[in-house]
């Protein structure tokens, strides 16, 4: 393997955003050796736009049907020691790669992922996601990383040790969330995964319900599918099993409370005052959110986005329950990969 | 169990939250600036942290809301009609919070027990690490 980094960017109809992504890579303080855009048979001119932006563009003979499929198509072309995966709608802070790669100096680390902040924070869905990310990446991920087991090396911006990635067969398309699947398989194989908070990426998040619905469905089903496939092996990894158990509890119990029990009690008992339960945890959740926002100089934006977070949380709870119902109870798994933006 | 008892429990949760979880988070930030594995002070294991955080969130949040409404009732007496001292609604909220915490503890216990009987372990050799790295890793674990 030669030294250096190969960036893989799977893209399907991303003509509007792909040049920004490639440009942000070309402006890095540590520039990647090769930038490969996998144009998954787009119909909007993604191929030409990516090529004119300076990327090497490859195209499978037919649409691979998933992000994992597109990434695997290009993986055999990677000859550098490091492989990086970035979404086609994601741009990076100028020093993001430099900071991310520091974590991979450790020979035991196979993957590292960075901090994620929505590029645009305008609609209720983008605002909700902004607060959700602030909470997750300012609090949950650092705690998980401290214990050496980040739950996911986010697919929108992660770097991998190429030989370890190839040894595992690349990304799997048996679930809707190939990044969870890959992260957990690294743990099962004895590798470590790191979260690097100062390596920042900016993806475009779903701006309306139509796209948010697709993304939430994919993420919810993907999580349940991964738990279903890997649960016995997750049980063998001490801290990971705790983190997955808490996430599963949150998906089931907290979602049931938000979407089923609370509305039912409010309706049956005719006691609207119970609605305070929807905001009862805010005083404490706000602490890490505001801490993260102050560090970024975005306090006002964070406070203004809190109501949207409450909306997104309830919608997210609905999709988690739907995924559990479909995947585990009526055995109707989600197989069609639909883009969330 | 009356409202004063639930309030007292919530206060305890909230104090735990203030005394334990937030400093723990701060400690994590400090620790993260040090090289990994070098001089890491002992921290609360994840289940304890999760439990305290959850109870803190639920109990503390509930307590603050109740306190705010009672304070408001001093200024606007009509609000008190919405909130009698032994309001069953607030009892429900308190019981709900305790119930959620209880289920989380149950889940964590079940997972630990399952890990004793159902865990499927992969050979660590699959990682491709050399012997020395494997030894270091096993020691670290």
Residue with tokens 């890997």: A230
Q: Which two tokens stand for residue A260?
A: 């089923």
Helix, strand, coil percentages, rounded to 5, for chain A: 55, 15, 30
- Rounded Cα–Cα distance for residues A134 and A150 (Å): 16
Long-range contacts of A254-257 (CB under 8 A, 24+ apart): A254/A317, A254/B100, A255/A316, A255/A317, A255/A318, A255/A320, A255/A321, A256/A321, A257/B96, A257/B100
Running DSSP on this structure, what letter comes out for residue A211?
H
CA-nearest of A218, A202, A186, A33 to A112 is A186
Residue with tokens 């104090």: B15
pLDDT of residue A290: 87
Q: Which helix (H) or strand (E) holds A91?
A: strand A90-92
Residue with tokens 């319900």: A209
Same domain assignment for residues A98 and A79: no
For residue A139, give every residue at least 6 positions away whose Cβ sits within 8 Å of its Cβ, in sequence order, or none. Answer: A288, A292, B25
Cα dihedral A219, A221, A222, A223 sign:
positive
Contact A287 B129 (CB under 8 A): no
- Per-residue pLDDT averaged across A13-40, rounded? 97
Cα dihedral A241, A246, A249, A255 sign:
negative
- Per-residue pLDDT averaged across A61-88, rounded? 96
Give A275's pLDDT tier (boundaries 50, 70, 90): confident
Q: Which of A88, A122, A140 is the last residue of a domain?
A: A88
Same domain assignment for residues A73 and A111: no
pLDDT of residue A279: 78
Residue A287 has pLDDT above 90, yes or no: no
Residue A27 has pLDDT above 80, yes or no: yes
Write the CATH number for A13: 3.90.550.10
Considering only residues A238 and B122, tell me which one the structure prediction assigns the higher pLDDT: A238
Q: CA-based diameter of chain B, in Å? A: 74
* pLDDT digits 0-9 by tens, B16-65: 555 555 566 556 655 555 444 433 444 444 555 555 566 556 655 566 66
pLDDT of residue A195: 94
Q: Which residue of A has its CA nearest to B44?
A: A147
- Rounded Cα–Cα distance for residues A15 and A316 (Å): 29
Chain B closest CA to A29's CA: distance in Å?
A: 22
* pLDDT digits 0-9 by tens, A111-136: 999 999 999 999 999 999 999 999 89
* Residue A285: exposure state from Cβ atoms within 10 A (0-12, 13-18, ≥19): buried
pLDDT of residue B37: 41
Beta-bridge mates of residue A194 = A112
pLDDT of residue B30: 57
- Per-residue pLDDT averaged across A62-91, rounded? 96
Residue B102 has pLDDT above 90, yes or no: no
Q: Which two tokens stand for residue A34?
A: 């090769």
For residue B84, give every residue at least 6 positions away whose Cβ sits within 8 Å of its Cβ, in sequence order, or none. Answer: none
pLDDT of residue B38: 38
> Does residue A241 sit at the B interface (CB-CB below 8 Å)?
yes
Same domain assignment for residues A198 and A288: yes
pLDDT of residue B57: 60
Same domain assignment for residues A219 and A326: yes
Same domain assignment for residues A123 and A218: yes
Same domain assignment for residues A58 and A169: no
Residue A313 lies in domain: 92-341
Contacts of B103 in chain A (CB under 8 A): 249, 253
Contact A233 B114 (CB under 8 A): no
Same domain assignment for residues A158 and A9: no
Top-ranked range on mean pLDDT: pick from A11-25, A249-263, B85-99: A11-25
Q: Are strands A90-92 and A192-203 parallel, antiparallel or unpaired?
A: antiparallel
Long-range contacts of A254-261 (CB under 8 A, 24+ apart): A254/A317, A254/B100, A255/A316, A255/A317, A255/A318, A255/A320, A255/A321, A256/A321, A257/B96, A257/B100, A258/A313, A258/A314, A258/A317, A259/A314, A259/A317, A259/A318, A259/A321, A260/A321, A261/B96
* pLDDT digits 0-9 by tens, A173-230: 999 999 999 999 999 999 999 999 999 999 999 999 999 999 999 999 999 999 999 9
Q: Which of A35, A59, A88 is the last residue of a domain?
A: A88
For residue A153, give every residue at least 6 positions away whose Cβ sits within 8 Å of its Cβ, in sequence order, or none. Answer: A111, A112, A113, A160, A179, A182, A183, A186, A193, A195
Instruction: Count the domains in chain A.
Output: 2
pLDDT of residue A286: 80
Q: Are strands A109-116 and A56-58 parallel, antiparallel or unpaired?
A: unpaired
Cα dihedral B133, B136, B139, B141 sign:
negative
How many Cβ atoms sit within 10 Å of the Cβ of residue A65?
14
Same domain assignment for residues A17 and A111: no
CA-nearest of A111, A117, A112, A110 to A93 is A117
pLDDT of residue A124: 95
Same domain assignment for residues A223 and A117: yes
CA-nearest of A222, A162, A168 to A190 is A168
Same domain assignment for residues A9 and A115: no
Q: What percent of chain A has pLDDT over 90?
A: 76
pLDDT of residue A147: 76
Cα dihedral A235, A72, A108, A146 sign:
negative
Residue A153 has pLDDT above 80, yes or no: yes
Beta-bridge mates of residue A58 = A38
Same domain assignment for residues A145 and A8: no
Give A330's pLDDT tier (boundaries 50, 70, 90): very high
For residues A113 and A197, is the Cβ–Cβ distance under 8 A? no
Mean pLDDT, chain A, as a whole number? 92
Residue A43 has pLDDT above 50, yes or no: yes
ipTM confidence score: 0.82
Mutation to test the B interface, candidates A110, A276, A292, most B Cβ within 10 Å: A276
pLDDT of residue B35: 45
Rg (CA), chain A: 20
Chain B closest CA to A123's CA: distance in Å?
A: 27
Give B13's pLDDT tier (boundaries 50, 70, 90): low
Residue A52 has pLDDT above 80, yes or no: yes
String of DSSP letters for B27-75 = HHHHHHTSPTTSSPPP---HHHHHHHHHHIIIIIHHHHHHHHHHHHHHH
Same domain assignment for residues A33 and A108: no
Mean pLDDT, chain B, as a whole number? 60
**SS3 at position A208:** coil
Q: Which of A62, A88, A114 is the last residue of a domain?
A: A88
Considering only residues A174 and B13, tell me which one the structure prediction assigns the higher pLDDT: A174
For residues B110 and A246, is the Cβ–Cβ distance under 8 A? no
- Rounded Cα–Cα distance for residues B23 and B61 (Å): 18
Residue A318 has pLDDT above 70, yes or no: yes
Q: Which B residues 4-63 touch A at CB under 8 Å?
A: 17, 22, 25, 28-29, 31-32, 36, 43, 46-47, 49-50, 53, 56-58, 60-62
């Amino acid at each position: 393997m030669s030294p250096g980094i190969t960036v893989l960017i799977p893209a399907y109809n991303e003509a509007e955003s792909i040049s920004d992504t490639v440009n942000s890579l070309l402006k890095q303080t540590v520039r990647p050796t090769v930038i490969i855009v996998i144009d998954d048979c787009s119909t909007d001119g993604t191929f030409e736009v990516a090529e004119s932006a300076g990327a090497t563009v490859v195209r499978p003979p037919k649409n691979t049907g998933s992000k994992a499929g597109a990434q695997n198509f290009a993986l055999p072309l990677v000859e550098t020691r490091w492989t990086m995966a970035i979404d086609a709608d994601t741009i990076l802070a100028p020093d993001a790669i430099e900071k991310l790669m520091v974590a991979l100096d450790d020979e035991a680390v196979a993957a590292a992922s960075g901090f994620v902040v929505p590029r645009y924070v305008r609609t209720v869905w983008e605002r909700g996601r902004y607060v959700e990310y602030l909470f997750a990446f300012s609090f949950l991920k650092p705690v998980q990383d401290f214990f050496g087991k980040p739950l996911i090396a986010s697919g929108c911006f992660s770097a991998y040790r190429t030989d370890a990635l190839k040894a595992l067969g690349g990304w799997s398309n048996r679930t809707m969330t190939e990044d969870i699947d890959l992260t957990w398989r690294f743990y099962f194989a004895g590798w470590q995964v790191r979260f690097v908070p100062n390596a920042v990426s900016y993806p475009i998040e779903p701006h309306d319900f139509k796209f948010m619905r697709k993304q939430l469905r994919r993420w919810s089903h993907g999580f349940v599918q991964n738990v279903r496939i890997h649960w016995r092996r997750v049980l063998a990894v001490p801290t990971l099993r705790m983190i997955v158990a808490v996430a599963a509890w949150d998906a089931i119990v907290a979602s049931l409370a938000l979407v089923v029990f609370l509305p039912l009690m409010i309706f049956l008992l005719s006691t609207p005052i119970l609605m305070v339960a929807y905001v009862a945890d805010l005083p404490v959740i706000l602490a890490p959110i505001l801490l993260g926002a102050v560090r970024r100089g975005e306090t006002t934006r964070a406070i203004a986005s809190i109501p949207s977070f409450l909306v997104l949380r309830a919608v997210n709870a609905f999709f988690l329950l739907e995924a559990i119902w479909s995947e585990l109870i009526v055995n109707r798994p989600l197989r069609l990969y639909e883009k969330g933006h | 169990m009356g409202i004063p008892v639930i309030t007292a429990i919530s206060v305890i949760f909230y104090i735990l939250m203030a005394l334990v979880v937030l400093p723990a988070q701060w400690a994590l930030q400090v620790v993260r600036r040090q090289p990994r594995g070098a001089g890491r002070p002992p921290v609360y294991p994840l289940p304890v942290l999760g439990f305290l955080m959850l109870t803190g969130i639920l109990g503390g949040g509930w307590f603050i809301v109740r306190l705010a409404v009672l304070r408001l009732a001093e200024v606007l007496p009509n609000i008190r009609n919405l909130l009698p001292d032994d309001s069953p609604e607030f009892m429900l909220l308190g019981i709900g919070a305790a119930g959620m915490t209880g289920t989380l503890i149950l889940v964590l216990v079940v997972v630990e027990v399952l890990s004793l009987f159902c865990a499927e372990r992969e050979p660590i050799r699959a990682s491709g690490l050399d012997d020395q790295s494997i030894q270091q890793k096993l020691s670290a674990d």
